Structure 1
Amino acid sequence: MSDRLVAAAQERSKTATEAVIASLRKHEESHLAVSVSSVAADAGVSRNFIYSTPSLRDMVMAARLDPLRQPARTLPQSARSAGSDASLRTRLAAALHRAEQLEHDLAEEKRKNGVLLAEILELQNPQTPKKVQPIRPRRF
């Protein structure tokens, strides 16, 4: 029984290794960015499998660092996460409007803070008005 389990595990490992190598070839032929994550996702294996297999890890790292390799292009974004130019411009306009609003609010708060600070200083250092004569002590 254990021999069959070992044989099955070896077969799964061999199949996964072949899938990783095929994925690496596909990435290199298509000039896609090579990373452990992208290769593992394309091959249908876990990243841990690649990291725990020294030969596969070395192959992926060598493909990433190959100086003769053409500049990589990234995988295309999914349709869900891709934004149209119009929606991105709308979001930018909304963000810029919000930034202007926050700058206006900040200026108003700074003005209020200055008024309150002046009141505090006035209360800490009271001065008599110039038109008021100080009261002289009476002599009895």
Structure 2
Amino acid sequence: MQGGGDRAYPITFDISLAGTSASTGIFRTFLNPFGAECLVLRADLDITTQSTGASTLDIGTAADAVTASDNLIDGLSAATAGRFTNMNSTNAGTNGKQLQKLAAGGSIVIEEKTGDVDGLVGTLYVTLLVTN
């Protein structure tokens, strides 16, 4: 939103996650619903049921729904239940950062990076702010 007096308000979306035996590579995506560039203010992952075996997740913004990205959360173990955020470097990993841009036609992608996410149940909360 632009112009005199216009205000932009952040909006949080919840994206349900469920790992199955068919889950490989990118197993969940979220398309930018606004048709305008957004800023991802934060990404918070609540894993309520851990994966049955060792596995890691990458979560990030991408130009489409088929390109992997780890610019929000990089290499997070899905074999541990709990709450994780890209707001601290321990959870965000090497490449995970705060305040990432999400293109007008872009997606947030959740990828099984290593191992197997069978049995994983959780919710990714993504807070977006429309920037133009």
* TM-score relative to the length of structure 1: 0.24
Q: Which has the higher helix share?
A: 1
Greater Cα radius of gyration, structure 1 or 2: 1
* TM-score relative to the length of structure 2: 0.25
